[in-house]
A and B are shown apart, each in its own frame.
Chain A
Amino acid sequence: MSVDRRQFLADTTKLLLLTGAASRAWAFVEQGRPQDAPGYDVHRHWWAMFIDIEKCIGCGLCVDACKVENDVPPEAHYSRTWVERYHVPDRDPLDPLAEPQPRVDSPDGGRHGFPEIYPPGTGGKSFFVPKLCNHCAHSPCVQVCPVGATFESPDGVVLVDKDYCVGCRYCVQACPYGCRYIDPRTQTVDKCTLCYHRITRGLTTACCEVCPTGARQFGDLKNPRDPIHDLLRAHKVQVLKPQMATGSKVYYAGLDAAVR
């Protein structure tokens, strides 16, 4: 038995005694994939998401997968993620000063796709914009929570402590992106957790798992070998409402000025 292996087993045993997370990790060890296992260290990750608007086809699989994976109430007004369709009409050459007003829709949060309502000849441009919690590094929602029931985890994920939330809804008011709702079953606030139960097991988020075009990419900014660095390098990216200075970690490529 090599020193490394013996050391590894000793470490693993220690972790097993110490944390519940490590007991889950044991499954990986048994499967012969110990490299994926040694516990989950919140201090070694900094999760982010990359969304390529040019790739989104508005199929809504991500919205549906999120509802299923996270047991989100079925109604659209309880949405952890949703897809918006923007339609920006053409500029009127006779009135170039008039800024074209975008039209936006999101039927059932985009969960079942988008029926075509802008047939050829309508003019203008249309595109889809997937939305989710931006997992801000300077979250307004965390700032206003009076009791510390919502917080930025050390790995950059904004989470909710459902057993501690008083249900005052101040965070819902403070979120500039409309990403929070009150779960009618628990009367506490709920939001995207970036599929925390998945990513801490080495899986990707449900929305990224099912996205057929790779429009959604999930990555670890603390891991220098994570492909997200290449994506951020290869594209000009923007965050939603940059004037809010929330430190958003959902980066959009191909974001139009009309999007809010």
Chain B
Amino acid sequence: MRELLRDAEHLIRLGLLFAAGLLVFLVVRAQLVPAGFGELGHFRAGAIGANQEREPRFAGRAACAECHGEPAESLAAGGHAAISCESCHGALAAHAAEPAEIPGFAATARALCVQCHAMNRARPAGHPQVEPVSHAEGAACTDCHDAHAPGL
């Protein structure tokens, strides 16, 4: 038996080397696995929070109505009731947070209306559409229509 051990000594050394390597791997691994990994599944639980961090750019309709009660009411009563303020006025969370410093945005451009109301066959048939070039050529849409309560 002792002879066998002596003749396999190099293999034992190799085995020990591998065992040492494996041990180092396991120790290092235990140190490096990020905190919270595996708590909720195979991922860093903290990654959920990281995905929540960004600040919203669109404030949402409720935030607009807090200051702009009158236009919000007229919008709610008209044909555009389902549309959010920021659909036309753009992302205004920054304005909602600091109304005095950051100005809002008046939406009057013809291009804006045309984006939804230009004639396009792929649009649902019941959706109000106009020929964007010939319809009231040259005039601003808001000359005839109230964007908050469209119709003539």
Contact, CB under 8 Å: B118 / A154: no
Q: Is A15 an interface residue (CB 8 A)?
A: no
Residues A58 and B52 in contact, CB atoms below 8 Å apart: no
B47 & A164 in contact (Cβ 8 Å cutoff): yes
**Contact residues of B: prevailing secondary structure:** loop
Cα distance, A120 to B121, chains bound together (Å): 7
In the bound complex, do residue B44 and residue A164 qualify as a contact, i.e. CB atoms below 8 Å apart?
yes
User: Is the C-beta of A113 less than 8 angstroms from some C-beta in chain B?
Assistant: yes
Residues from chain B with Cβ under 8 Å of A65 in the complex: 58, 86, 91
Which of chain A's residues have a CB closer than 8 A to the CB of B120? 57-58, 114, 116
Rounded to whole angstroms, the CA-CA distance of A127 and B122 in the bound complex is: 4
Check B118 against A113 for contact (C-beta < 8 Å). Answer: yes
Determine whether B151 belongs to the interface, using a CB cutoff of 8 Å to chain A.
no
Whether the pair A116, B121 counts as a contact (CB closer than 8 A) is yes
Alpha-carbon separation in the docked complex, A58 to B119 (Å): 11
* CB neighbours of B40 from chain A (8 A): 42, 153-154
Is residue B30 contacting chain A, with contact meaning CB distance below 8 A?
Answer: no
Q: Is A135 an interface residue (CB 8 A)?
A: no
- Are A119 and B57 in contact, with the CB atoms below 8 A? no
Residues of chain B contacted by A164 (CB below 8 angstroms): 34, 43-44, 47
Task: Assess whether B54 is interfacial by the CB under 8 Å rule.
Answer: yes
Q: Are A159 and B51 in contact (CB under 8 A)?
A: yes
Task: Check if A70 sits within 8 Å of B47, measured CB to CB.
Answer: no
Which single residue of chain A is at the shortest CB-CB distance from B46?
Answer: A161
Contact yes or no, B48 A203, CB < 8 A: no
Indicate whether A108 reaches chain B with its CB closer than 8 angstroms. no
Q: Does A152 belong to the interface (CB within 8 Å)?
A: yes
Q: Mark B122-136, 1 if CB is under 8 A from A, else 0.
A: 111001000000000
Q: In the complex the two chains form, is A69's CB within 8 Å of B121's CB?
A: no
Q: Across the two chains, which residue of chain A brings its CB closest to B56? A: A198
A residues less than 8 Å from B119 (CB atoms): 116
Contact indicator per residue, chain B 88-130, by CB within 8 Å of chain A (1) or not (0): 0011000000000000000000000001101111111001000
Q: Known contacts A148-B43, A149-B43, A206-B57; decide if A87 and B48 are in contact (CB<8 Å).
A: no
Chain A residues with CB under 8 Å of chain B are 20-21, 40, 42, 54-61, 65, 68-71, 85-87, 112-114, 116, 118-120, 122, 126-128, 148-154, 159-164, 193, 195-198, 200-201, 203-204, 206, 209-214
B contact residues vs A (CB 8 Å cutoff): 34, 37, 40-44, 47-58, 60-61, 80, 82-84, 86-87, 90-91, 115-116, 118-124, 127
